[in-house]
A = this chain, B = another copy of it.
Amino acid sequence: QSSVTLFGIVDTAFGYVDNANAAGDSVYGLSTSGNATSRLGFRGVEDLGGGLKAGFWLEGEIFGDDGNSKGFNFQRRSTVSLAGGFGEVRLGRDLTPGFSKFISYDLFGQVGIGQFMGWSNWYGTSGDANGIRSSNMISYYTPNFSGFTAGLGYGFDEQTSGKAGRYVGGYVAYENGPLGVVVSYDQRNLAADVDRNALTVAGSYNLNVVKLNAIVQQTKDDVPGASDRKVNAYALGASAPIGAGEVKAQYALYDQKAIDSKAHQISLGYVHNLSKRTALYGTVAYLKNKDASNLGLAARNLSTGGPGAGENQTGVQLGIRHSF
Contacts and interface: CB of A to CB of B under 8 A. Distances in A.
A64 B40 contact: no
12 contacts: A4-B6, A4-B324, A14-B91, A54-B278, A65-B78, A65-B93, A69-B135, A72-B72, A72-B74, A82-B320, A158-B303, A160-B303
A209 to B, nearest CB: 27
Contact of A12 (B6, B80, B277): B80
A136 interface: yes
Given A6-B42, A29-B156, A82-B320, A12 B278 contact: no
Nearest to A1: B5
Contacts of A10: 56, 58, 78-80, 92
Contacts of A42: 6, 8, 40
A48 interface: yes
Contacts of A174: none
The 10 closest A-B pairs by CB, nearest first: A29-B156, A25-B160, A29-B158, A67-B75, A71-B71, A67-B93, A67-B78, A66-B135, A68-B73, A10-B80
Contacts of A156: 28-30
Find the residue from A2, A27, A56 having the highest chain B CB count within 10 A.
Answer: A56
A160 B26 contact: yes
Nearest to A65: B136
A71 B11 CA distance: 22
Interface of A: 1-8, 10-14, 20-21, 23, 25-30, 40, 42, 44, 46, 48-49, 52, 54-56, 58, 60, 62-80, 82, 91-93, 135-138, 156-161, 274-275, 277-278, 302-303, 319-322, 324
Contact of A91 (B28, B274, B302, B320): B320
Contact of A275 (B40, B46, B135): B46
Given A72-B74, A322-B46, A135 B65 contact: yes
Contact of A5 (B2, B20, B46, B76): B2
Nearest to A279: B54
A159 B69 CA distance: 17
A30 B136 contact: yes
A41 to B, nearest CB: 11
A30 B91 contact: yes
Contacts of A322: 46, 54-56, 80
A100 to B, nearest CB: 15
Given A54-B275, A65-B91, A65-B92, 13 more contacts: A2-B6, A3-B324, A6-B6, A10-B58, A29-B158, A66-B78, A67-B76, A67-B77, A68-B74, A69-B135, A71-B72, A72-B72, A91-B320
